[in-house]
Structure 1
Amino acid sequence: MANWSAWMVAGGIFIGVIERISKMAIKTIGFPGRYVQGPGAIRELGGLLKEFGSSSPAIVMDDIVRQAAGQQLQEALGSAGITGRHLRFAGECTKAAIDGLAAEAAGADMVIGFGGGKTIDTAKGVAKALGCRLMILPSIASNDSPTSRLIVLYNEQHMVAGVEVMVRNPDVVLVDTDIIARAPVRFFAAGLGDALSKKFEAQQCHIAGGKNFFGTPSLATARLLADRCYETILEFGRQAVEQVRAHAAPNEAVERAVEASVLLSGLGFESGGLSLSHALTRGFTAHPVLSTFLHGELVAFGTIVQLIAENRPEEEVRSHALFCHSLGLPVRFADMRVFDISQAELIDIAEKTCAAPYIGHLTPSADVARVVDCLRRADRRGRNLS
């Protein structure tokens, strides 16, 4: 009997250990294969293509980027003796656009996405369809799409239609800060607006026990990167915006801000997870006027809404809103040309927001009525900002 009792005690301990182990979750973080940043970085293109064994790349870009920087791209390809196949991006990242360009790119051994967020996501879709390597060359730093494996799809009405994922992150992300700094400062500021949300969204996802875009809880490293992203923008963001506005050329502040808005933000959201700030884009992009604004501008306002929804102290919300305002980001509906938003419009935005997959990553939890209330409070905060 004594032996039996001892076995039962030992067995109980063993079972308890197994139960504790089973509750410890597998966690995942993802990175691009290579990240290269700096003035004139496009000149590294030819060498990188050779290193990755590419001799017949397909380049996805729109007419504006081709006119502004197409010659630099051609020179970089020519220096390596490579002739690329140019695929014209028409402007919207739809499933039909991806399918059409993938057919044109048949036989390519590398897809290069040269442009803004929708061009980049379209290039991701083409690379996924072809099963080939992918290089991202952002022409603007307006959002954090370059480093991630996510493909945000839209419909012809410019509404978010869904999200697909690639098997892996881009093989190369090549960020030429000369090109970035020559783009309109509005795009640069929007990228900072997108990035500023990641600290709060990763925190909320973690607190709620939510999953990141690899389907697991986040590693502490991802949340640290999201925190560092926010701290970097607070330190360098305003200087960087003024440098781009006044000189259209990079300096150390611009380099640090770009690293935050492209690399740290991308790693933070994909491996840390999202929350209300990005859930709101589902509702904002369904609005006929708000949908005309940049993703990062919508997220910037959405982050103010999220801070209010988190019941953060009034002074913290005000301080964050003031900082966003100093970067030229929207802090009220009037900043986005919506001067008298109706209750029906707010309800529609809230309903679509509450249908987003990461709406549950918020404490206290949100429903339509609460989202409407927080939208109104954020708008009021922006109108009273001084």
Structure 2
Amino acid sequence: MFENFSFTSYYVDKVIWKTLENELENFHNILIITGNKSFESVKENILPILKDKNIIIENYLGECCYEHSSTIIKNIIGKQIDLILGIGGGKVIDTAKLVANQINKTIFIIPTIASTCAGTSALSVVYNQDKTFKEISFFKAPPEKIFIDLETIKKSPSRYTWAGIGDTLAKYYEVKIKHEYCLANNKKINFPTQMAIELSHNCKNIIIKNSEDGYYSQEINEAFKNIVLTIIVTTGMVSNFIDDFLNGAIAHSVFYGLTVLPRIEKEHLHGEVVAYGILVQLLLENNLEEYKKLTEFYKKLKFPINLTNIVRLEEFLEKENDILEEILKGPDLIDFDFNINKNNLKKALFYKNN
């Protein structure tokens, strides 16, 4: 019967720094976990706020992995920490959350891009040092607060927001397929999961409605704000509300499997590949009507619609069996009614859309 839910308090504005300054008033010893480019994008705004604070800056080391979070923790042994500030994109934020949960400290987030819901979710996607997927690490609660500066995000490379759109769409389609499985198999759905299922529709509807205007606009308009909040906040709410069983499906498993190819992590963004994974999922479901509608939207945003848009065919064929096996053992896959196997998975991956 027991249920519990907590969510990140979010603050959003075109310029958010005064709000951040007020919220940091009672914190004096702050550990900042960030990346070089991430910190560069905000330092002229944040350093004046921190001038009377004792700050330690630890750079994230290029990947969210346990080895790197352990290195950061070793570097701060014996130092007083009141608060952790995670400043950056998804992997920086996931690293900061790992550290915060390992040393049991409050964490605030300042996203410098809008590519995932990492800033509001109670998990970190953990990789091996060679950049292949390792596991998902779940936490008791998400970050306490997040400060979304729309000006910073608009100035960031637009491909990150583009990838965030793809990752956010996946939340709807992956929740949908798992929900249908639960209904077909008479599985109980608890109260917060019911709310998450309803909320997940906005991960599709708001994105489809606002993406062209918000993404392509040079201005910070309402459509852009709607996209950013859907990527960071709505998707995070769904992730935190929903039962772990429904939190992910085929689209993300396709991404994890394709990371067997080093080129995926080097040349492509998480949400970009996950967006392609949605198409693979729809083909496996034999939902060709929705597949056709979504590919029309993809063409407007220039998302990948064929496997060869994201891999070199010869590299894929060389590692084909490893990739297929890695997808099939993904942490979010279950025994769906349509029985995913190497044959139908390969057919879906190689489906050619003109």
Query: TM-score with structure 2 length normalisation?
Result: 0.90
SS in 2 for 1:173: strand
- Equivalent position of 2:67 in the other structure: 96
Greater mean alpha carbon deviation, residues 41-50 or residues 224-233? 41-50
- Equivalent position of 2:236 in the other structure: 266
Map residues 338-377 of structure 1 onto 2, 5 A cutoff.
338-340=312-314, 342-343=316-317, 345-360=319-334, 362-377=336-351
Shift of 1:300: 0.4
- Equivalent position of 1:39 in the other structure: 14
- Equivalent position of 1:177 in the other structure: 150
Shift of 1:339: 4.5
Are the structure 2 counterparts of residues 340 and 239 from structure 1 closer, same or farther at C-alpha, using a change threshold of 3 Å?
Answer: farther
Q: Is the 8 A contact 1:28 1:271 kept in 2?
A: no
Whether 1:146 aligns to 2:119 is: yes
- Equivalent position of 1:232 in the other structure: 206
SS in 2 for 1:47: helix
- Structure 2: 5+ residue stretches without partners: 184-188
- Equivalent position of 2:39 in the other structure: 66
SS in 1 for 2:299: helix
Are the structure 2 counterparts of residues 204 and 126 from structure 1 closer, same or farther at C-alpha, using a change threshold of 3 Å?
Answer: same
Whether 1:280 aligns to 2:254 is: yes
Are the structure 2 counterparts of residues 99 and 31 from structure 1 closer, same or farther at C-alpha, using a change threshold of 3 Å?
Answer: same
Q: Number of aligned pairs?
A: 341
Among 254, 274, 281, the alignment partner of 1:299 is: 274
SS in 1 for 2:319: helix
One-letter identity of the residue aligned with 1:97: H
Query: TM-score with structure 1 length normalisation?
Result: 0.83
Shift of 1:289: 2.1
Q: Is the 8 A contact 1:42 1:72 kept in 2?
A: yes
2-structure distance, mates of 1:370, 1:260: 33
Among 192, 195, 205, the alignment partner of 1:221 is: 195
RMSD over aligned Cα atoms: 2.1
One-letter identity of the residue aligned with 1:107: Q
Shift of 1:282: 1.6
Q: Is the 8 A contact 2:7 2:144 kept in 1?
A: no
Q: Is the 8 A contact 1:225 1:264 kept in 2?
A: yes
Q: Is the 8 A contact 1:208 1:360 kept in 2?
A: no
- Structure 1: 5+ residue stretches without partners: 1-24, 211-215
2-structure distance, mates of 1:43, 1:340: 52
Among 287, 292, 308, the alignment partner of 1:318 is: 292
Are the structure 2 counterparts of residues 225 and 361 from structure 1 closer, same or farther at C-alpha, using a change threshold of 3 Å?
Answer: farther
Q: Is the 8 A contact 1:283 1:349 kept in 2?
A: yes
Shift of 1:363: 4.1
- Equivalent position of 1:121 in the other structure: 94
Q: Is the 8 A contact 2:261 2:316 kept in 1?
A: no
2-structure distance, mates of 1:337, 1:356: 19
Q: Is the 8 A contact 2:33 2:92 kept in 1?
A: yes
- Equivalent position of 2:220 in the other structure: 250
Among 140, 144, 148, the alignment partner of 1:167 is: 140
Shift of 1:48: 1.1
Q: Is the 8 A contact 1:240 1:257 kept in 2?
A: yes
SS in 2 for 1:325: helix
